[in-house]
Structure 1
């Protein structure tokens, strides 16, 4: 009958770590301007470099702001307001982010929605002021743009990225137009709920269902839902995950490890 692919965006289709890290630094300067007094370009470059390493912990974009400030507090004891920053390592962030995040949000008196709004606003302004450099800070993984253009399967984007940014990158960088009704972005509900919606739609009955994601935690959430037992689940090895997570995924029967070259072939 055919195939339906629900695809994550960041880490599966697009490597957006450069853009999201630079946007997070810009947004952090707006949110906490005093913390950046005396911060030179060398330290900013160090922060961006570390963001590439710790990117696997990010589920939703606003978390990049928290990570930028946490890295800054790790390096500058004089501005430290968090109890977790002293002695914290990059490895410690990778292993314990889910425990660290609620602590620092409480200690910094931050709420999710204002940070989401700020992160989106900073990106919008960057796009409006200089679309070319915003686009250039992203890249699609090799072969992905062509695979999307010539896909014979039905393709949906299921992402925690704000939909307008995913749509702009698909159009401007990949040269691909995916109808907005097929892009489920931030605010459309948890991914498990989106997958439930997709499988219930009458036009999808009889299709073989595939979900491609780079976060093992998200795939585990799908596995917990008996209603979603019909989905084939894939962890993209090229995405934002760690060797430890890939090894764990290899031991989960529902999850298939996927190479980038095989992914492109599947869509075609």
Structure 2
């Protein structure tokens, strides 16, 4: 009794995976829409990867990276545009309006969530199988995070929209940390608000102080809407995949605390 439980997002809180996810999305997009890349040279691919880093805050689930790659190609090559939203669209426009744009382009491109998730996972699996060290190098843990996890005396759970096997592989191979698989709640385990309800209901977690650390403001706002989750302390990290505008909004929400990287590492220990 009296200890702490930390539910931690993975990408953007523990691990900077933007390089890997962008490259995997580019590989997957070439498989999904090969005709799209006839006019894409290495210079444009470099531009796409650069823009994916800018756009990373809008991604909630990995498959969305494929949609962003295709949309970026349509921005640069108007002759192959298949979506009504691409004409005149800017990077800033995508950042501001992704929630509205995504269902439109998925309908116009006749795409569905599950096949894109499966393809994205398959591309990553093949990369890991053929070049594990290269896949690992495309990711990095934020400074101090691995040691904080390793020496933490708190109950730690991973709550992520990443597929669990990839989070587990990175924890083991890149950070040298083994977190029991039953403490990694990845894609397919349900919305994060439901996972938090499960965690607080576990008998072994009774009496613990509850902390949820995220880099997506929208996720924290969903938690705030759930009265059943009022016991959770909520944190938005300053170093993750969020924008200055989102950080400013978070600072105006009394329930959310802003977290800097050194403070996170010391808290977790």
TM-score, normalising length from structure 1?
1.00
Number of equivalences:
268
- CA distance in 2: counterparts of 1:244 and 1:39, whole angstroms: 33
Other-structure match for 1:187 = 188
Encode CA deviations 1:45-85: one digit per residue, 9 max, x unaligned: 00000000010000000000000000000000111000101
- CA distance in 1: counterparts of 2:88 and 2:53, whole angstroms: 20
1:205 and 2:195 aligned: no
Counterparts of residues 96-115 of structure 1 (less than 5 Å): 96-115=97-116
Other-structure match for 2:258 = 257
- What's the offset of the Cα at 1:7? 0.0
- What's the offset of the Cα at 1:39? 1.1
Listed as ranges, the gaps of 5+ residues in structure 1 are: none
- What's the offset of the Cα at 1:9? 0.1
- CA distance in 2: counterparts of 1:212 and 1:126, whole angstroms: 29
- CA distance in 2: counterparts of 1:144 and 1:203, whole angstroms: 25
Other-structure match for 2:15 = 14
- CA distance in 1: counterparts of 2:27 and 2:195, whole angstroms: 31
Alignment RMSD: 0.4
TM-score, normalising length from structure 2?
0.99
- What's the offset of the Cα at 1:38? 2.8
Other-structure match for 1:50 = 51
Counterparts of residues 33-112 of structure 1 (less than 5 Å): 33-112=34-113
Deviating above 6 A after TM superposition, structure 1's stretches of 4 or more consecutive aligned residues are none
SS of equivalent to 1:104: helix
Encode CA deviations 1:204-245: one digit per residue, 9 max, x unaligned: 000000000000000000000000000000001100000000
Other-structure match for 2:168 = 167
Other-structure match for 2:197 = 196
Other-structure match for 2:231 = 230
- CA distance in 2: counterparts of 1:9 and 1:236, whole angstroms: 12
Counterparts of residues 116-135 of structure 1 (less than 5 Å): 116-135=117-136
- CA distance in 1: counterparts of 2:39 and 2:67, whole angstroms: 19
1:136 and 2:137 aligned: yes
- CA distance in 2: counterparts of 1:221 and 1:86, whole angstroms: 32
- CA distance in 2: counterparts of 1:251 and 1:2, whole angstroms: 29
